Amino acid sequence: MTGGGLGPAVFLDRDGTLNQDKGYVHLWADWEWLPGAPEALAKLKGAGFRLVVVTNQAGVAKGLYTENAVRELHLLANRDLAGRVPAALDAFYYCPHHPHYTGPCSCRKPAPGLIERAAAEHGLDPARSFMVGDKLSDAAAGLAAGCRSILVLTGHRRAEAAAAPPDLPVAGDLAGAVRLILAGG
């Protein structure tokens, strides 16, 4: 990707999109990359996309783990990724809130706050970017921020596809989403 102005990115949900969704993953021992995810990320990096994780982490609000645990897991995941493929994630943004525990916020997906903040802080153009996730709330956040969204059927979200709008692209996994992205969306 070349050209002036703001750059393109792929915003990525975490649990169920990049790694196995085992429920409140916050320890490195519980992290397991989904098959093909590291290689798919490397293809996106090779095509010039910035890679930004945007994830809801309600376990923080529920007192199950700390924000430090989230940051440490992200550091370890990125280190592991760089050791597997020639790629690294450019940034991680997480929402530590949950409406039942902390009240409403502007960063919990489906709100676009995490994407908007990342775009502003990293010079990214949502109109040239994609949001990939396994929940309709991920897709909604991307669309609200001005991105093109793709729903993946990994994680526990196969039922999400049945409720997806007919114009929302659906891919079997991250590798399938990358094929759609590299084909122009």
| Inter-CA distances, 8 with 1, 3, 38, 175, 184, Å | 8, 10, 19, 18, 12
Phi and psi torsions of 133, nearest 5°: -160, 170
Which of 13, 21, 134, 138 does the annotation list as catalytic?
13
Q: Which are the contacts of 64, defined by CB distance < 8 A and separation ≥ 6? A: 24, 26
Q: Please name which of 63, 64, 121, 134 lies closest in space to residue 92, comparing C-alpha atoms.
A: 121
Cα angle, residue 96 at apex, residues 90 and 101 outer, rounded to 5°: 165
Is 90 noted as a catalytic residue in this protein? no
Is 15 noted as a catalytic residue in this protein? yes
Question: In 10 A of CB 72, how many CB atoms?
Answer: 15
Phi and psi torsions of 12, nearest 5°: -125, 130
Residue 174 and residue 152 in contact, taking contact as beta carbons nearer than 8 Å: yes
Which of 15, 21, 134, 173 does the annotation list as catalytic?
15
Q: Which residue numbers are catalytic?
A: 13, 15
